[in-house]
Structures are given as structure tokens and as C-alpha cells.
């Protein structure tokens, strides 16, 4: 009689995950680069070295989707049919892009979740990720503080790699720190959300 597949309890969510060698794929779309990697959610780190492609000069939905497909195909053996999480440099509500900070304005109004799910043939989770230019950070974080009164602000993404250059220049009530995962935070977070 075949043995039953091993399951792992995930205490935080109360879910049971089947033990598998496949990992969810996280993709972080930025103004200068599109990065992706399969993520080992148990360890909170990449299961394979990430792949990075330059964001096209005309970063239209179709042009960016082509590169997302390329990354997904590159890691197909590692991810199988696992879920895919994608972050965009935009405000995203219910999968629909509402702003375009560092990507083509053609994204505004695009149902990114449907576009990418159709192109990839797999469920895709698209995350709200807001990228601001350095000179606007103070104003942005001041608004965050006024609205939410956070105890701590954690900054991730590519900008976190140079945290020592801009964090000391910000004057906020709450402490502000760089994410421990730094530039990997978008990929790891997107993969985690897709699997939640």
C-alpha cells in the first residue's frame, strides 16, 4: 500500500501544506528590472538564484508580461504549477492597476491579475507596492504616519540596499528601518502571499 504524502502544519494560518519539491514563484517588477525566483517559504529565502531581466524602455503590459512569462518558464522545473506572486510599482486594487509610478501609463486600468494569469496559465496574486522617488519619501512617510501612527516602518525593495544613504535624512516619529530581506523582500513576500 503506498504511503501517505507527508503534510506540514503551518501554525500561523492553520493550513496544511503537502510536502513538495516545488516552490511558489515570486516576481518583483520594478522600473529598471524584473526579478524572479522560486521561494522556500519555510526558510524565507530563494530556492534558486534569482533571474533578472531589464524592464523594457516601453514597459507596456504586454511587453512586461512577455518577460514575466520568460522568468516563469526559466523556473518551470522548480515551481511546477505552484502559485505565482507578482509585485508592481503601482497601486493595485483587486488585481487592477490604479497608478503607474515607474512603468508605462498603459498599465492604469489594466487587470494585471487576469492578464498575467491568462498568459501564465496559473493563478497569479498581484500585490500593492508603491515606489516613490527619494525626494518624495519624506512627504510620503509623513502621510503614512499621520494616517496610521505606526510603531515601526520597514522599507523593502531595491531602495533598501542603499538605506544608509537616505534613512538618516528622514525625520519621522516612528523608527524606520530597512527590511532584513532587503531587495529580496518583494519576491519572497509575493510568493508567500500567493501561497496563503
- DSSP per-residue string spanning 160-184: GGGHHHHGGG---SS-EEE-TTGGG
pLDDT value at position 90?
Answer: 80
Report yes or no: 46 and 38 within 8 Å, Cβ to Cβ.
yes
Element housing 76 (H / E)? helix 76-79
Q: Give, to the nearest 10 degrees, the angle between helix 61-74 and helix 112-120.
A: 40
Integer Cα distance of 46 and 27 in angstroms: 11
Of 171 and 56, more confident:
56
Distances (CA, A) of 141 to 32, 137, 148, 167, 185: 23, 6, 10, 11, 19
Report yes or no: 45 and 39 within 8 Å, Cβ to Cβ.
yes
Is the pLDDT assigned to residue 55 strictly greater than 60? yes
- CB count within 10 Å of CB 52 equals 15
Mean pLDDT of 161-167: 71
Of 101 and 171, more confident:
171
Mean pLDDT of 166-176: 83
Integer Cα distance of 156 and 178 in angstroms: 6
The superfamily (CATH) of domain 7-131+183-195 is ATPase, nucleotide binding domain (3.30.420.40)
Report yes or no: 127 and 140 within 8 Å, Cβ to Cβ.
no
Q: How confident is the model at residue 124 (pLDDT cuts 50, 70, 90)?
A: very high
Of 180 and 25, more confident:
25
Is the pLDDT assigned to residue 120 strictly greater than 80? yes
Of 71 and 22, more confident:
71
Residue spans in the chain of domains classed CATH 3.30.420.40 = 7-131+183-195
Mean pLDDT of 88-106: 84
Q: What is the pLDDT of residues 4-14, one digit of tens each?
A: 444 444 344 44
Q: Rounded to two decimals, what is the model's pTM?
A: 0.60
Q: How confident is the model at residue 134 (pLDDT cuts 50, 70, 90)?
A: very low
Amino acid at each position: 500500500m503506498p504511503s501517505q504524502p507527508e503534510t506540514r502544519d503551518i501554525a500561523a494560518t492553520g493550513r496544511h501544506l503537502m510536502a513538495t519539491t516545488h516552490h511558489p514563484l515570486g516576481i518583483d517588477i520594478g522600473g529598471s528590472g524584473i526579478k524572479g525566483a522560486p521561494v522556500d517559504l519555510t526558510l524565507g529565502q530563494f530556492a534558486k538564484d534569482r533571474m533578472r531581466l531589464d524592464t523594457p524602455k516601453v514597459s507596456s503590459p504586454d511587453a512586461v508580461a512577455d518577460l514575466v512569462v520568460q522568468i516563469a518558464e526559466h523556473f518551470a522545473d522548480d515551481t511546477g504549477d505552484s502559485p505565482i506572486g507578482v509585485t508592481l510599482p503601482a497601486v493595485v486594487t483587486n488585481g487592477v492597476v490604479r497608478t503607474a509610478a515607474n512603468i508605462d501609463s498603459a498599465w492604469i486600468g489594466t487587470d494585471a491579475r487576469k492578464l498575467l494569469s491568462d498568459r501564465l496559465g496559473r493563478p497569479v496574486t498581484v500585490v500593492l507596492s508603491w515606489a516613490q522617488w527619494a525626494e518624495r519619501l519624506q512627504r510620503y512617510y509623513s502621510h503614512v504616519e499621520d494616517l496610521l501612527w505606526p510603531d515601526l516602518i520597514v522599507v523593502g525593495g531595491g531602495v533598501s540596499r542603499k538605506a544608509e544613504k537616505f534613512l538618516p535624512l528622514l525625520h519621522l516619529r516612528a523608527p524606520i528601518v530597512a527590511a532584513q530581506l532587503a531587495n529580496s523582500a518583494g519576491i519572497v513576500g509575493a510568493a508567500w502571499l500567493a501561497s496563503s
